Structure 1
Amino acid sequence: MLIPINQQAERFFLACHSSSWVPGYLAERGFDRSAQRAWHIGYAPSEWRALTNHLRGLGFSETAIESSGLARRTSRGTLIDFFRDRAMFPIKSHDGTTIAFIGRSLDAERRYLNSPQTPIYRKRQTLFGLHTLTPDTIPVITEGPLDAIAVTLTGGEGLTGLALCGTALTADHVRVLTRSLDLSRVVLAFDGDQPGRAAAARSYPLFKGICTADAVMLSADRDPAGIFTEDGPAALATILTEQTRPLADLVVDAAIDRWQRSLEYAEGRVGALHSAGAAVAAMAPHDVARQIARVAERLGFDHATVTEAVTDCVTSRLAGGDFPAPLAFGATITRPKGRNPNERSLRGPTP
């Protein structure tokens, strides 16, 4: 019953599209009518019960409508539409079945609204745009549906945009990708602000041992959709293909940046060394050499010193019995009991 309800809701939103603000707004952003049709973008009217009444008229019960996540109960028990006055982006499963929606508002404070969890839709297991993947594609994971669409529309070297549905990237998302294609490389194109970079760095353990993971380095005030709108598809394609870095770079940079305010002091540099060493010790082997070189360059240590710090972290983890389980990003490590008490602990002071 939930799939037919979502299919009917998609048709309803599409029927409301042309008379709304959505076509003009998206066209101004560079997403023309052809793109809007291809992605089945619709519009949820601003009325309280427009969709609910439409679905009732088609014979769906209130219980079924509420269970679909397309309507909710007010404090008075009245059933009202969950999405109102929003551009509607259908979320589809790998086979193209519509299972939920993302609604985009013009209100910057409540820009995106995702369908609540239902028996056929779980945010932590779903990616917007999954149905567009092909066997030879390179998935580019973004934060919002317009970002994902912008990536796909660039046509750059088989890149296909995907978007998170209001949640952090999870191991379930990675499993969905590996079931959908032979995953050899993934690119993260999160917003260029600090939260976006931090989220990308935290994602590293999810891809370790599975595929090559790269990140697009955007400036703090930019995202893929904004670049698509302001600079054009060709500019976005260039950034996605020529301005990527190994995701491991962001992990090490984040570990060192925790000590940024004390790097001018010897103690701060030592603390940053141990923090970065712990991060590198948990990395895939193919990432280690590059990161040792980067840490040495950033902190002014020779390669032997950095290598020793990394090796020491590996030894500590072996002694503690927790290796080779991946180290959670941002965690600290202390030496196991029995080590020389005069040796410096890898748990540095908070900068």
Structure 2
Amino acid sequence: MTTSAGDDLRAQEEEQQRQLGVLQGIADHAVARVADGRLRWDVWLEQASRHGRYGFTNTLLIPAQRPTASDVRSYDAWQKQGRQVRRGETGIRIISTRGKPRTVFDIAQTDGHTIERPELTPAEGLRRLSQLAADLDFYVDRGQGWTYLGRPGRRIKVAPELDDTIAATVLAHQLAHALRPGGRIDPVSDYSASCHGVRRVLADSVAYIVLAELGLDISRLSFPPSQRWAGKDARTDSFAAIRAVGDQIVRTSTRLKRRLHDLSETAPPTAAPRETAKPDRSQMSSPPAESPQQASAGSTSELHAALADTHRFYRRNLQGSWGTRYLAGRGFTSAMQEQWEIGFAPRAWRSLLRHLRELGHSDQTLIEAGLAKQKDGGEPFDLFRDRVVFPLRDRGGEVIGFIGRRRDDAQGPKYLNTPETALFHKGDVLFGLHEGLPQFARTARPLLVEGPLDAIAVNVAMPDLYAAVAPCGTAITAEQIKGIGVHTDLEASGLVIALDGDPAGRVGAVRAWRTLHRITGPVEAAVLPQGQDPAELLSPTSHSGVREALLCVTPLADLVVDESIQRSGGALEFVESRLAAAQAAAALIAELPPDQIARQVTRVAVRTGVDPTDVTTFVASAISPDPSADAWSPQLPSPDRQNTERRNPSHPASPKRTNRRTT
């Protein structure tokens, strides 16, 4: 394999992982909505009845992209059914059973032969379920008066007085129990007397999906709020409970539906057909079980314990320090300080070290956790001293490091981070990402700011609009963007970055662009008033200008392209400088998503006075840098014409930046 081919393969793999991260983020957001009750359980069941054959995660992904989808299949699968996906239709992205992104299309996006399925009466539906029970070696007892001599655990009692719809519901409920590993059926026909909690939710949910497959009435099934059986802590067990139960429901109902389908192929049709889509059996394999996470090593546990004890120590020391007065003076109330668990590192050289030694932590553990330093084999000392301290957390919420801010009149760096450790890698971590989970669940947009106080201020003052996060003193990295994408759909929400309105801000825009341009969603910038930062949102005197800047954003690509034009073309006095500016801008435009290129070509043509066709050619050359020998390139004017144009540039004045108000 050549180096070029290897690079292409790696690029494809990175893009695939990026897409998987985005898709998993969408699914995680949907799980959060189920866990807190915003997505009702019966609404999810309706989605699962349509798309369950693709696995639990995809029952969330498909309606998130196309809420009206009723039957989705691959392009080739539709062709096999005599239907053709219409030209220009946007595919629905799902995750295959092999863990790769895959595209499917809804039946409404296709044309072709009508797909029909028999519409069953309640009696016929009950008969089909009874056949299925017999195929599974169960005996359905509806009071026939016969003596059952088989194994007790294979007898399903259904009260004879029940109508066919309710009897079918009871039977489907019992079959859901029977198909679970180690499952047992309810001992009486009135299962409501013996089936409770998660067991009841699981079996009734399977019954819902199976009855929907048969076209029977499901209105008599009701479900308690998910918080009642899955828990209310969205950060821990409730998410796991939703996923585990949802996965079992999808697997069990898929098995039952597959068996029903197999039995129907050998039985004659008994009812009039209706237009719909039959299950695509080629796609009906059960999703693979998720592997459990590996347990942490003992040394990692020691680091976590030392960091947790350190955090408690810092929090206790905040009250009475200059830190609490400093924070209050900037508008951060004591309630905010408590909510964000801000702490204070005392001024003494070894106050933390002595405290942690008393708790049984070794000096080596403290050094490895980034809490203490040691020079030339001497006595260790505290890393953070006389600083306001902000905790840095991993995705699970555990403290893995700190950011310390010095007082304004002190020496040393304004912000000090925990050094690289086994737990903390500053290029991976964002302050505020874990704390912003509730806002991401409400579809707030990610906002990149400079420091922790900026992030806290935005999250306090504008929680419905933004979920603000701050890198740890580094330029934004691809890993940090990946971390954001776990919690929100970046393709839909995009991202906003807050920039200073000075030359340093323009440099920051270019530096951030190198990473952010890979995001397919809208990437925008909020240009702050010069000398102000987002933390001033909590100031009673200077918050209005910052708030207005955060409400009025502009595409980051506009700022970066304009900066490139200014850097390469200067005042754009001469034809050469205008062409140089257009070529420099074209190199940036070539990196944009295709749907943004035309707009930027027009902007560059207006800014530089270069013909749009020439700008387009520059962009094409930047995308494909090895043109054929006879490829056309714009010609410089003749010397006579050039001398005329040197002092009379024909390009119009640069337009003012057009901002849009974010919603």
TM-score bracket, shorter-length normalisation = 0.7 to 0.9
Shift of 1:278: 1.3
Q: Secondary structure at the match of 1:157?
A: coil
> In structure 1, what is the equivalent of residue 406 of structure 2?
105
Shift of 1:265: 2.3
CA deviation digits over 1:109-143, x for unaligned, max 9? Answer: 61100000111111011000011223222110111
CA deviation digits over 1:25-46, x for unaligned, max 9? Answer: 1111111111111111111011
> In structure 1, what is the equivalent of residue 570 of structure 2?
261
Determine what percentage of the aligned residue pairs are the same residue.
37
Structure 1 distance, partners of 2:461, 2:630, is: 55
Shift of 1:99: 1.0
Structure 2 distance, partners of 1:260, 1:222, is: 30
Is structure 2 residue 579 aligned with structure 1 residue 270? yes
User: 2:528·2:546 contact (CA, 8 Å) conserved in 1?
Assistant: no
Relative to structure 1, the CA distance from residue 288 to residue 260 in structure 2 (aligned partners, 3 Å threshold; closer, same or farther) is: same
Shift of 1:290: 2.2
> In structure 2, what is the equivalent of residue 212 of structure 1?
522
CA deviation digits over 1:2-40, x for unaligned, max 9? Answer: 111111111111111012111111111111111111111
1:314 to 623, 631, 649: 623
Q: Which runs of 5+ in 1 are unaligned?
A: 320-335, 346-351
Structure 2 distance, partners of 1:16, 1:312, is: 61
Shift of 1:191: 3.2
Relative to structure 1, the CA distance from residue 230 to residue 257 in structure 2 (aligned partners, 3 Å threshold; closer, same or farther) is: farther
> In structure 1, what is the equivalent of residue 305 of structure 2?
4
User: 2:345·2:387 contact (CA, 8 Å) conserved in 1?
Assistant: yes
Structure 2 distance, partners of 1:250, 1:103, is: 32
CA deviation digits over 1:229-279, x for unaligned, max 9? Answer: 3645565443212x2111111220221121253522222111111101111
- Equivalences for residues 1-351 of structure 1 within 5 A: 1-75=302-376, 77-106=378-407, 107=410, 110-131=413-434, 132-133=436-437, 134-135=440-441, 136-155=443-462, 157-183=464-490, 184=492, 185-207=494-516, 208-226=518-536, 228-229=538-539, 231=541, 235-241=545-551, 243-261=552-570, 263-316=572-625, 319=626, 338=629
User: 1:214·1:244 contact (CA, 8 Å) conserved in 2?
Assistant: yes
Structure 1 distance, partners of 2:530, 2:546, is: 16
Structure 1 distance, partners of 2:541, 2:562, is: 28
User: 1:194·1:220 contact (CA, 8 Å) conserved in 2?
Assistant: no
User: 1:102·1:165 contact (CA, 8 Å) conserved in 2?
Assistant: yes
Q: Secondary structure at the match of 2:529?
A: coil
Shift of 1:180: 2.4
Shift of 1:215: 0.9
Comparing 163-172 with 105-114, which one deviates more in the overlay? 105-114
Relative to structure 1, the CA distance from residue 75 to residue 212 in structure 2 (aligned partners, 3 Å threshold; closer, same or farther) is: same
User: 1:154·1:234 contact (CA, 8 Å) conserved in 2?
Assistant: no
Q: Secondary structure at the match of 1:84?
A: coil
Aligned letter for 2:421? T
Taking structure 2 as the reference length, the TM-score comes to: 0.46
Shift of 1:311: 2.6
Shift of 1:76: 5.0
Structure 2 distance, partners of 1:179, 1:35, is: 26
> In structure 1, what is the equivalent of residue 133 of structure 2?
none
Comparing 214-223 with 63-72, which one deviates more in the overlay? 214-223
Aligned letter for 1:152? N
Aligned letter for 1:222? Q
> In structure 1, what is the equivalent of residue 144 of structure 2?
none
Q: Secondary structure at the match of 2:400?
A: strand
Shift of 1:342: 9.1
Relative to structure 1, the CA distance from residue 285 to residue 109 in structure 2 (aligned partners, 3 Å threshold; closer, same or farther) is: farther
The structure whose Rg is larger is 2
Relative to structure 1, the CA distance from residue 60 to residue 69 in structure 2 (aligned partners, 3 Å threshold; closer, same or farther) is: same
Relative to structure 1, the CA distance from residue 250 to residue 108 in structure 2 (aligned partners, 3 Å threshold; closer, same or farther) is: farther
Q: Secondary structure at the match of 2:539?
A: helix
Structure 1 distance, partners of 2:630, 2:362, is: 67
CA deviation digits over 1:71-94, x for unaligned, max 9? Answer: 000235210000011000011123
Structure 2 distance, partners of 1:251, 1:258, is: 10
Q: Secondary structure at the match of 1:258?
A: helix
Count matched residues. Answer: 326
Structure 1 distance, partners of 2:374, 2:612, is: 62
User: 2:351·2:382 contact (CA, 8 Å) conserved in 1?
Assistant: yes
Structure 1 distance, partners of 2:504, 2:355, is: 40
Relative to structure 1, the CA distance from residue 51 to residue 344 in structure 2 (aligned partners, 3 Å threshold; closer, same or farther) is: farther
User: 2:529·2:549 contact (CA, 8 Å) conserved in 1?
Assistant: no
Q: Secondary structure at the match of 2:475?
A: coil
Q: CA RMSD in A?
A: 2.4
Structure 2 distance, partners of 1:310, 1:210, is: 19
User: 1:255·1:272 contact (CA, 8 Å) conserved in 2?
Assistant: yes
CA deviation digits over 1:197-231, x for unaligned, max 9? Answer: 32333333534254221111123423212454364
Structure 1 distance, partners of 2:411, 2:534, is: 17
Structure 2 distance, partners of 1:227, 1:83, is: 28
